[in-house]
Structure 1
Amino acid sequence: MDIQQDVTIKSWDGTWTYHPRVKVTPESVEDIIEIVTDTVRFPTPVRPAGSMHSTARMNGDDQGGTMVDMKAMNRILHFTDDTVTVEAGVSYIQLAQALRERGLQPHVTTEIGNTTLAAMACAATKDSSFPGGFGQISSYVTAVRFVTPQGEIRELTEADNPKDLQIFRSSYGLFGIIFQVTLKVRPTTALSVRHYSLSLENFRKFFPVYKARGYAVMYYIFPYAKRVVVELRKDNPEAAPKSKYRWAYRNRFWRKYAPAVVIWIDKNIKNQKWHDRAQDAFFYLLRQAMVWFVRSERSWPHAQIINYPRNPGETKYLFSMWSFREGSFFDILEEYCDFCIAYEAHTGFRCNLPSVGYAICRDVEALFSYTWEGPGMSIDPASTGGPEWEEFLHAYNDFCAERGGTPLFNQTPFLTRDMVRRAFGTRLQQFAARRKEADPQGRFLDNYFREFLS
């Protein structure tokens, strides 16, 4: 295994910088056991890392500790008719491509394809839910194999350890280092996709109709225009999947061109009035393009998954997610638009990319599910980053916490202990007790989670 001393590691977009005393890349489970049990060569805390695509600072302490880069363990091991078993470092886009060759697909085709399967198995992910399904990838994990804090190999399965697996799906590497994941899959089915541009009032009006007709609902929020573009997806088993190029153009646009355009506007148009008009005009064209261009009756579901570059430079797409109960969401959405407009009037800052949101069904498969108490809908502001964006997120966190929102540990930066306790309540206490029982010496516990769980 490759071992490096006193290195500097940045997250995928350069937002967060880490300085582990040791960075190690294991190639086998024996390597992981050696890392966990040798506390001298591999100092505490020991924290696993994949693509480092989390928007929160959760890949280790500021100084010291051991970062375990799992990307070298990236083999797809075996398939059945409805499952696939992979090593920890397999990326989601790598998995989707292998499944497509066999006429299979994941149950959730989340957009961020760089994330590794081990991270998805024990952390929060997001996508709109299909009827009877879940929006989180970890909810479809049926088994994990991992190395415990004591250096032992253990396996949890949905059949034999349902309660333990429920906790492990939200464990964020605090219970063990995963080296193998088994995930439910299903036969490939063509996807029908449509986009509609709506006012907030019409979105509120038509959402129950979309839900009743069995659509998975994603939406792009344009708070300064008080409009949304609704993305409706539905399985189309009557057609063979064919279309993929529209998704390829769309993915390239969100990965590169949309951030490039808004960065150009920010840099070159200094007059606030004309800056906002230019951005509004771009967003108007963007809404029309989505409605008229990104549509198909027989799309490949795998084509939605985006391969983000490891070092995107300025053209990065940052976000922060909170989920709200479906029953109160539309009032909160209107308040969110007013909040963004008022924040710009007060500070001069506006988010330079559309916000995003997902309709997610109730999910109790993972302990820290953001729809534990019932169906939810999210609001995810997005931006190309910068100090003003980070200041906005602090205000946005307060806005969401005051309205009973639920954050994601890995995709909601700048959380406070009070916000986390208000959101998760007794589930946080339950998790903290089980974590201390499993890892009494705190071998995997870093400062980020220590603050929340103490």
Structure 2
Amino acid sequence: MPTLRNWNGDIRFDVSDSQLKTPTQISDVQDIVKQAFENNQQVTVVGAMHSTTECMVGRGVVISMKNMDQILSVDKENLTVTVQGGATLHQVCLHLRELGFQLPVILEFGNFQIGAMSGTHANDTSITRNAQFSSFVAGVKLVTPAGDIMEVSERLNTQYLSAVRSHFGMLGVVCEVTIRIFKTQPLHVNFQTVEVDWFLDHFSEGLKALKEANDQVFGMIFPNTGKLVWQCRKFGKLGGENSKQTPLAALLGPIESKGIDLFGSLFIPLMKSTTAIHLPPDAAELVNDALIDLPLKIIEHSSYIIDPCQRGIIYGKEDPGFEFYDWMIPENNWVDMVRSFLELTGRFRREHQFILTLPTVIYFLRQDQAALLSRSYTSNMIAVDPMYPNPSNPTWKLFRLAFNEIAMKHGGVPHINKTRDGAISHFAKAHDQESLKQYLEIRKKFDPKNLFINDFFKTMFSGYL
């Protein structure tokens, strides 16, 4: 009996050999779904299982799309690419790069499957355009819960497109996806380091400066040192002025392209080392501070160029070990939220000898209503996304639950795939109620037998179904 596990191994579930399906073509998917429909069996579709919530755990038939991974076509005139649902981000990036194109949103983790990304909260960071991958989905071909083939696009069944962009596996099996693409735009990357308190005190002017100068901004807060690092990214032209390399490019460029980025290649190994040697809290904090200061001195004032298609790298099974805890906060509430967050980390440091040894990630989502369950449906949002290298630590769970409470007080919206203990209890209440109602009505129309809604989503939408 196979045991399926999520990316960091903290969530596992067994599936019988007869119930784990790996179709190779749409007709196979139809046969599987029709049989499940006739037998009233629950159906769950899994991708790379990068989620740190139980949103991908299934009890009945489990469909893996890994054998439907072909890149079907690239329309150079209309700027779209069409792929099968199991194609990975890494595959698509490599293919498009050879043709001089790129996806609008390229995440660090190349294992992600496009079918899953087409209808979940997968996002990068952007302050000039939509940052959610699903917002650029131009169409899908899916097998409905009754086993029929349906196309939903900007031309066919358009009324369902915003729901499909939030399918989360609950509307059927997404077999093909058409995504908008751009001509290659190299990213010029540089860094700024500031004190967290200074930025919070000068938030309006600091945010304005970031938005005026950059296309993407990715941040890291180090709660124990009070440092805030901005990785600032701006699109350039091939062969343009921004393509000139600086002396540190030979070092930093390969780290960015072959690692997950500086965060994944530099900070995470250092922080994991701190945790692994089980130092007393006071000593661990001193070592942690030292390990942070050195990388910051290396990257400060540095810059380099990267092809965005190099960012979607493949992680090995042994690589991940940490857990995200992702909440989006309305832009207008973010300063108060971060102050509350820093107070929380200080309290846990004093009362529980608990230290966040990994940086807390910040990224941006512009207001975006392209998907009904978009986390920035009502306003511009900024993330507060703490991470921890040991998901099973009981004090980490206590911290998560306390974090939930302050995030809710500041109008936060959790990440369905990443906010364990938060999304299942808070997403439906936090989300825009009208778009949630519209989504659930469409979902019920697609799946009247509720075969494609697992226990996680039944609990998450409890009281709304």
TM-score normalized by the length of structure 2: 0.89
Q: CA RMSD in A?
A: 2.2
Partner of 2:9: 14
Aligned-residue offset at 1:42 = 8.0
Counterpart selection for 2:341 from 336, 346, 365: 336
Corresponding letter in the other structure for 1:439: D
Q: Structure 1 residue 86 and structure 2 residue 83: aligned?
A: yes
Task: Please give the alpha-carbon distance, in whole angstroms, between the structure 2 residues aligned to 1:395 and 1:365.
Answer: 32
For 2:123, the aligned partner's letter is: K
Structure 2 vs 1, CA of residues 417 and 55 (structure 1 numbering), >3 Å: closer, same or farther? closer
Q: Which residue of the partner structure matches residue 393 of structure 1?
A: 400
Following TM superposition, by how much is the alpha carbon of 1:233 offset from its aligned partner in structure 2, in angstroms? 0.7
- Say whether the 8 Å CA contact 2:415–2:423 is kept in structure 1: no
How many Å apart are 1:249 and its aligned residue? 5.8
Give 2:44's match in structure 1, choosing from 27, 43, 47: 47
Deviations 1:161-191 (A, max 9, x none): 4431101111101111001000000110121
* 1:72 correspondence with 2:67: yes
Partner of 2:143: 147
Describe the SS at the equivalent of 2:36.
Answer: coil
> Which amino acid is 2:336 matched to?
D
CA-CA distance at 1:240 after TM superposition? 7.7
1:219 aligned residue: 219
User: In 2, are the aligned partners of 1:157 and 1:165 still within 8 Å (CA)?
Assistant: yes
- Structure 1 residues 355 and 394: alpha-carbon distance in aligned structure 2, compared to 1, 3 A threshold: same
Counterpart amino acid of residue 141 in structure 2:
R
CA distance in 1 between partners of 2:37 and 2:333 (Å): 52
In structure 2, the partner of 1:158 is 154
CA distance in 2 between counterparts of 1:453 and 1:51 reads: 24
**1:291 aligned residue (294, 300, 307):** 300
Equivalent residue of 2:27, what SS? helix
| 1:342-353 pair list within 5 angstroms | 342-353=347-358
**Is 1:443 aligned to residue 451 of structure 2?**
yes
Shift of 1:330: 1.8
Percent identity, aligned pairs only?
25
**Distance in structure 2 (CA, Å) of the matches to 1:41 and 1:391:** 44
User: Following the alignment from structure 1 to structure 2, what is the Cα–Cα distance between the partners of residues 147 and 239?
Assistant: 48
In the alignment, which of 99, 103, 110 is matched to residue 102 of structure 1? 99
Alpha-carbon distance in structure 2 between the residues aligned to 1:189 and 1:396: 37
Residues 336-375 of structure 1 aligned to structure 2 (within 5 Å): 336-375=341-380
Q: CA deviation at 1:128?
A: 1.2
- Please report how far the alpha carbon of residue 397 of structure 1 lies from its aligned counterpart in structure 2 after TM superposition: 1.6
Counterpart Cα distance in 1 of 2:255 and 2:267: 16
CA distance in 1, matches of 2:37, 2:428: 35
Q: Which residue of 2 aligns with 1:404?
A: 411
Per-residue deviation at 1:239?
4.5
435-444 or 150-159: bigger deviation: 435-444
- Shift, 1:415, TM fit: 2.6
Kindly indicate whether the alpha-carbon contact (under 8 Å) linking 1:148 and 1:176 is maintained by their aligned counterparts in 2.
yes
Q: 1:113 to 1:270 in 2, by over 3 A?
A: same
Question: Which range moves more in the overlay, 81-90 or 240-249?
Answer: 240-249
Counterpart in 2 of 1:228? 228
The 8 Å contact of residues 109 and 260 in structure 2, kept in 1 or not, is answered as no
1: distance between equivalents of 2:315 and 2:39?
Answer: 31
Partner of 2:312: 305
1:380 corresponds to which of 385, 388, 411 = 385
Counterpart CA distance in 2 for 1:235 and 1:180 is 29
Count of residues paired in the alignment: 442
After superposition, give the CA deviation of every residue in 1:334-369 in whole Å (9 maximum; x if it has no partner). Answer: 221121111221222222210111122111001111
State which drifts further: 343-352 or 92-101. 343-352
How much does 1:207 deviate?
1.7
Residue 39 of structure 1 aligns to a residue whose secondary structure is helix
Change (3 A) 1:193 1:40: closer
Deviation at residue 252 of structure 1 after TM alignment: 6.8
Does the 8 Å CA contact 2:195/2:226 hold for their aligned counterparts? yes
Confirm or deny: 8 A CA contact 1:255 1:308 kept in the other structure.
no
Question: Contact between 1:45 and 1:60, CA under 8 Å: does it hold in 2?
Answer: no
List runs of 5+ in structure 2 lacking aligned partners: none
The amino acid across from 1:450 in the alignment is K
Q: For residues 116 and 280 of structure 1, what CA distance do their matches in structure 2 show?
A: 37
